[in-house]
Structure 1
Amino acid sequence: MKKIILSLVLTLCMCMGLAGCKEAGDIEDSSYVLAMGIEKTEHGYLIDYSCADFTKAQDNQGTKVPSKSIVYTGKSLNDANQKFERSQPKKLNFGHLKVIVFTNGQMDDTMIEELLDHSDIAKSVLVLKSRKTLKELFSIEKNLPISFGEYMAKGIESSPKVKKPKDLSLGRIYGRR
């Protein structure tokens, strides 16, 4: 009797293990944010989500996927994220985020805190500041063969002016590693 119960329990455990993740979904169900631009306005923020554009990706490109920007306004990052997810059929995925750029030469402490507290944004993401506006900065994206995030990250890593690119990460700049 004990052998039968034990074998039933083991069989049940194996079936549950083989069932897979209940949260797992298709790659097409997410918008993979590869870069973000943040511009402070008098009413909150403009946030540019530069997401992987798989419609432009070619089979032989490997990891070289172009990106496409979508801009949302919000009083906070969370507000803009919610607006994005209400208007788009895909869920935001920050797992591949490489670069966050603050535009108009302004970094915002409130936004930095939100980024640090966001559970899906890695502390290794590069944080940069640009004098350009959001529109000016991301205007080159449509002409790039790779994503804007990959373009910016490679530019920082290969720049002779930047000795330690990792020192520009969200966690290192703001003390949370």
Structure 2
Amino acid sequence: MRKYRLCLLVILIAFCIQGCSKQQDVEDHSFVLAMGFERINEKKLLVRYSYADFDKVQSDSGTKIPSRSVTVLATSLKDANKKWKQYKSQQLNFGHLKVVIFGNGKKNVKIIKELVEEPQIAKSVYVLKTDHNLSDIFGKEDKLSISFGEYLSKKLEIKDSQNLTLGRIYR
């Protein structure tokens, strides 16, 4: 009986140690809150990541997190994510993504399919298109006290906005 308890204790400790080894700090992630895509030519597109900027957070801001953006030139979402890793050591986290914007008035079916296939991206993410380019749209970001993704999603909380979601568009 004593050997049985000792064996159980060793197994329990082993599970605890194994579970803790995969934990990562919040600082190791970049939480993408909004994304933009703009076709440059047949093969290239601009991909803009708007992510939480914890460096700008003030102690009295509560849950209001500002954001900042980075733009990369890529051929696909997968290619853009690779280029992100070259730019920044933090891992991309799409779990808080709220809005995807397609610039120059054109949605890209290939990119929408990639977004749907990304396991971290919820089907409730808003998908919009605009006739403006990404730099015009994301230009407001520096002046906001909340993230750009949060700002846009609050603007979209209107009747029939569910028709603008990734899950509805990709049917």
User: 1:41 Cα shift?
Assistant: 1.6
Mapping of residues 54-73 of structure 1, within 5 Å: 54-73=54-73
Mapping of residues 1-150 of structure 1, within 5 Å: 3-19=1-17, 20-42=19-41, 43-150=43-150
User: 1:171 Cα shift?
Assistant: 0.9
3-state SS, counterpart of residue 59 of structure 1: coil
Q: Which residue of 2 aligns with 1:167?
A: 163
Distance 1:5 1:132 in 2: 71
3-state SS, counterpart of residue 107 of structure 1: coil
3-state SS, counterpart of residue 127 of structure 2: strand
Matched positions, count: 169
Moved more, 14-23 or 96-105: 14-23
3-state SS, counterpart of residue 31 of structure 2: strand
Distance 2:105 2:90 in 1: 31
The AA in structure 2 aligned to 1:110 is: K
Distance 1:148 1:13 in 2: 47
Mapping of residues 146-161 of structure 1, within 5 Å: 146-157=146-157
Distance 2:129 2:57 in 1: 29
User: 1:34 Cα shift?
Assistant: 0.5
Structure 1 stretches of 4+ with a deviation exceeding 6 A read none
Moved more, 20-29 or 31-40: 20-29
3-state SS, counterpart of residue 37 of structure 2: strand
Distance 1:81 1:25 in 2: 19
The CA RMSD measured in Å over matched residues stands at 1.4
